[in-house]
Amino acid sequence: MYNRRKFVKLSAAGASLSLLDKIAAAKPLVPPQAAGYPIVISTWGFGVDANKEAWKTLSKGGRALDAVEAGVKIPEADLTNHTVGRSGYPDRDGHVTLDACIMDENGNCGAVAAMEYIAHPITIARLVMEKTPHVFLVGEGATQFAVEQGFKKEKLLLPESEKAWKQWLKKAEYKPIINIENSKGLPGNQYNHDTIGMLAIDAKGNISGACTTSGMAFKMHGRVGDSPIIGAGLYVDNEVGGATSTGVGEEVIRNVGSFLVVELMRQGYSPEAACKEAVQRIIKKKPETAKQIQVGFLAINKKGEYGAYAIQKGFSFAVCDKEKQDLLIDGKSFY
Ligand code: SD4
């Protein structure tokens, strides 16, 4: 307890004490009901299988951080998926470069971007978080760190992706295709972008998130999107909730999208309303661009309530909890 003299001294040092008191007072005093826990949600149809993997950890009382890492490794390893992890489509120069980030309930985070030759960027992002004094490693430095951690370099450009890239080179037209994430199975260069963002709350009520992608197919060499950027592609605040994004990353970065969604939830917005407001900011800033692109946000709050919103129709997200492990929901959209 403060005695008065100490208090006066501290107050004289600035208005910071009362500000700190205000912040402390603003924290919810009663923790939200844990009835909705554990739960895991993720972007797009491939989120269903990813969630099921995460559920193996969550249903045993495991930590949300372990669950999201294990979950997103499923699409990272899926050879039929050309937009996350191994077998991702390359950039326009033929390099497969991967981006990922992860964030835990204590505000710790780690990320890698433009990393080549390593198939599970999410695990390297977690190692950056846990084993280095840094948050973000990129390019050769990220690969070098992964090798130092015992990971093998491997060729990520698989024949199917190489074929699609060579086909793309004929016209070399960079044009993101709306909702290509839902078009699994289309031949040739039809995949343009695809990302898994996953948010989980474990039995203790702790929130973590992960986001991983090979980014926009046929992007410029060195281009990094929103997915590995904390605050853009992913953000978690254990007092409030978490958010993640998918779609054309440039527009998400411009609006620091996932951080914005979490901050709106802090102000009382529901997850869906927060996602909608973030989408509307993107549209307001660049209405003509927004007509041509997809961006979707997915969010969960501390109570385990979730919601999503996208610019275009067709954004789906997967939900997994005690009741149902394979739910796929169509997100609402502006258009
Ligand atoms: C990016 N946001 O690199 C990623 C791509 C994506 O669904 O999300 N696709 O911009």
Return the CATH number of 31-333, one of 3.40.50.720, 3.90.1150.10, 3.40.50.2300, 3.60.20.30: 3.60.20.30
Cβ–ligand 1 distance for 75 under 6 Å, the answer no
Q: What is the DSSP-derived secondary structure letter of residue 222?
A: T
pLDDT in tens, 204-234: 999 999 999 999 989 999 999 999 999 999 9
pLDDT for the residue numbered 177: 64
Cβ–ligand 1 distance for 251 under 6 Å, the answer no
Q: Whats the size of the chain, residue-wise?
A: 335
Cβ–ligand 1 distance for 294 under 6 Å, the answer no
* CA torsion through residues 258, 241, 28, 13, sign: negative
Q: How far apart are CA 184 and CA 212, in angstroms?
A: 17
Q: How far apart are CA 39 and CA 30, in angstroms?
A: 20
Q: Whose CA is nearest to atom 9 of ligand 1?
A: 194
Give this prediction's pTM: 0.86
Ligand 1 atom with the smallest distance to the CA of 294 is 7
pLDDT in tens, 103-132: 999 999 999 999 999 999 999 999 999 999
Q: How far apart are CA 61 and CA 77, in angstroms?
A: 25
pLDDT for the residue numbered 14: 41
pLDDT for the residue numbered 277: 98
- The DSSP-derived string for 280-314 is HHHHHH-HHHHHH--EEEEEEETTS-EEEEESSTT
pLDDT for the residue numbered 1: 36
State the average pLDDT for the chain.
87
Which of 68-72, 177-181, 267-271 comes out lowest in average pLDDT?
A: 177-181
- The DSSP-derived string for 114-134 is EE-S-S-HHHHHHHHHHHSS-
Residue 27 has pLDDT above 60, yes or no: no
pLDDT for the residue numbered 81: 75
Q: Which of 101, 195, 254 has the most ligand 1 atoms within 8 A of CB, as the residue to mutate?
A: 195
pLDDT for the residue numbered 15: 44
Mean pLDDT value across residues 318-327? 95
Mean pLDDT value across residues 149-178? 88
State yes or no: is 143 an active-site residue. Answer: no
Q: How far apart are CA 301 and CA 39, in angstroms?
A: 11
Mean pLDDT value across residues 144-157? 96
295 vs 13 pLDDT, higher one: 295
25 vs 312 pLDDT, higher one: 312
pLDDT in tens, 89-103: 899 999 999 999 999
265 vs 85 pLDDT, higher one: 265
Sheet with 327-330, side-by-side order of all strands: 136-138, 109-115, 98-103, 207-213, 195-201, 39-43, 316-321, 327-330
Measured in Å, residue 191 CA sits from the centre of ligand 1 at 11
pLDDT band at 137 (very low <50, low <70, confident <90, very high): very high
pLDDT for the residue numbered 21: 56
Q: Which of 248, 251, 293 has the most ligand 1 atoms within 8 A of CB, as the residue to mutate?
A: 248
